[in-house]
Structure 1
Amino acid sequence: MTGPTVGFSVTHRRYVPHSHAHYGGNLVDGAYGLGLFGDVATELLIRTDADEGLFAGYSTVEFTAPIQAGDVIEATATLVRVGTRSREIDFEARVVCRSAPDRGPSAADVLDPPVVVTRARGTVVAPPRG
């Protein structure tokens, strides 16, 4: 445990399976990115507060580009404010790899630069230290 320090961040990467596509064009719902933010916030709190904490809510959420089945998505949580028990976190989800079905059924590309698909700011609450 490092203790809550502004600027501390955690990043997860995950492949988006085709079973998660809900819409035409293999699009995945925006809530997929928010689910990733919950997971990365949980690890951040475990590392800073030795507890999973509880998500209190989002103050902002921006969907900036689509998430598609076959993407490899990266979600980062960065601690931006530390209160007595509350922790304010900036989130960003980026597509780092994307399938390229026009070249073949398993073709894919590394995106350089990655495509930012979702940004948010949220607050989590850690239990009182005992």
Structure 2
Amino acid sequence: MTGRDVAADPRLGLTVLHRRYVPYSHAHYAGNLVDGAYVLGLFGDVATEVCIRTDGDEGLFAGYAQVRFEAPVRAGDVLEVAATVVRVGSRSRTCEFECRVVCRGRPELGGSAAEVLDPPVVAVTAVGTVVVPAAESAGPADGGPW
């Protein structure tokens, strides 16, 4: 930790949510399973919004400290993806990510049948770090940090 707390840094605790329907064109495996990289791409999307909201820049994903695939993601699912800022460094932002299946297709009941999952199913969790440019530089065109 940097020694900063929620009172000292309002970026801590910021949560960004996205929802996405998983189209059947993304199914790669038997049972309409979707590869794990699909969710990692969604984590990148919410991380981008986190950086925009905290620093006014899209930032760059530096890496994951942990990724856990806990339940399958299938075509026909509606996913809710969340990123919460848990650490703020001078240029880095560490986030906890969670992907929940909130709705699931039920093709065995009919071609367009689906249900709301209550409670949602946690499919993927992760901890990752993004970086943003130094405050005094606007980016590569200005000789910035990347």
For Structure 1 versus Structure 2, the TM-score category normalised by the shorter chain is over 0.9
- Secondary structure of 1:66's counterpart equals coil
User: 1:15 & 1:88 partners in 2: Cα distance?
Assistant: 26
Q: Is the 8 A contact 1:4 1:49 kept in 2?
A: no
- Secondary structure of 1:105's counterpart equals coil
User: 1:74 & 1:31 partners in 2: Cα distance?
Assistant: 16
Of the three residues 113, 122, 128, the one matched with 1:122 is: 128
Q: Runs of 5+ in structure 1 lacking a partner?
A: none
TM-score normalised by L of structure 2: 0.86
What's the CA shift for 1:31? 0.7
Cα-to-partner distance string for 1:71-127 (whole Å, 9 max, x where unaligned): 000100000000000100000000000001111100000000000000000000010
Q: Could you say what the CA RMSD is over the residues aligned between the two structures, in angstroms?
A: 1.0
**Runs of 4+ with deviation above 6 angstroms:** none
Relative CO higher for 1 or 2, CA cutoff 8 Å, sep ≥ 6?
A: 1
Aligned residues: 128
AA at the equivalent of 1:60:
Q
TM-score normalised by L of structure 1: 0.96
More strand by share: 1
Residue in 1 that maps onto 2:59: 53
User: 1:15 & 1:125 partners in 2: Cα distance?
Assistant: 28
Q: Runs of 5+ in structure 2 lacking a partner?
A: 1-8, 137-146
State the percentage of identical aligned residues: 68
Larger radius of gyration: 2
Task: State whether structure 2 residue 82 is matched by structure 1 residue 92.
Answer: no
User: 2:97 & 2:118 partners in 1: Cα distance?
Assistant: 20
